[in-house]
Amino acid sequence: MEPLTDNLWLFLGMAAVISLTGVMTPGPVFAAAVARGFRDQKAGLKIALGHGLVEFPLMGLIVLSLGEFFENDSVKMGIGIVGGGLLVFLGISMIDARKNMAITGRDSLPDSTIMTGALTTSANPYFFLWWATVGAFLIFTAQEFGVIVIVIFAGLHWTCDLAWYSFTSFAVFKTRHLWTPLVHEIVFGLCGALMVLFGIYFIVGPANELIGGKTDSLSSGFQHSL
Over residues 202-210, the mean pLDDT reads 69
Question: Does an H or E element contain 214, and which?
Answer: helix 181-225
Most confident of 15-19, 100-104, 116-120: 116-120
Report yes or no: 188 and 101 within 8 Å, Cβ to Cβ.
yes
Tell me: pLDDT of 164 over 60.
yes
* Global pTM value: 0.67
Q: What are the backbone angles phi and psi of residue 39, rounded to the nearest 5°?
A: -120, 5
More confident of the two residues 142 and 90: 142
| 206 — pLDDT class (breaks 50, 70, 90) | low
Measured CA to CA, the distance from residue 18 to residue 136 in angstroms comes to 12
Distance CA 196, CA 201 (A): 8
% of residues, the chain, pLDDT over 90: 21
What's the whole-number mean pLDDT along residues 46-69?
87
